[in-house]
Amino acid sequence: MAGEGDSEPRKSFKLLGFLDVQSVPCARESVLYGALGSLVVGLGHFLATSRVRRSCDFAVGGFISTMLGYWFYCRYNLAQQRIRQRMLREGMKNRILFEGSYLDPEKNQTGNERSDS
């Protein structure tokens, strides 16, 4: 079957000559949502006013605003996810480091045990 075991690398799609859509996070989804947004805004404006040139202008504006809006939303969520992953990684490292020691938060210690140490 085509696609299974192909040894040649996937060709990248560059938007405007510099934005590699396949390797940049959130770029592909932003372009797709921008295209959908431009279609909705342009068609909606055309159905409301029947002015073709103005509807095309609105479609371009809808593409830019939808693409940038989703880009920032996606990048913000990606940054939050990376922060959560980093915190989880640090927590797991600390758990392994402190497990069984007196610094272990899960170890129930009474006041008498603390004074004996």
**pLDDT tens digits in sequence order for the chain, 117 residues long:** 455 555 556 666 666 666 666 777 888 899 899 999 999 999 999 999 999 999 999 999 999 999 999 999 999 999 999 999 999 999 888 877 777 777 676 766 555 555 555
Three-class SS of residue 25? coil
Number of structural domains the chain divides into: 1
Q: Is residue 35 part of a domain?
A: yes
Chain mean position to CA 66: 15
Domain that holds residue 35: 27-97
Question: What burial letters (b/e) apply to 61-85, b meaning 16+ CB within 10 Å?
Answer: ebbeebbeebbeebeeeeeeeeeee
Establish if 32 belongs to a structural domain: yes
Give the CA angle between residues 2, 10, 18 to the nearest 5°: 150
Is 12 inside any structural domain? no
In a domain, 16, yes or no: no
pTM, two decimal places: 0.66
Q: What type of residue is 58?
A: F
Assigned domain for 21 exists: no
Per the domain annotation, does 105 fall within a domain?
no
Q: Do residues 31 and 23 touch, judged by C-beta distance below 8 A?
A: no
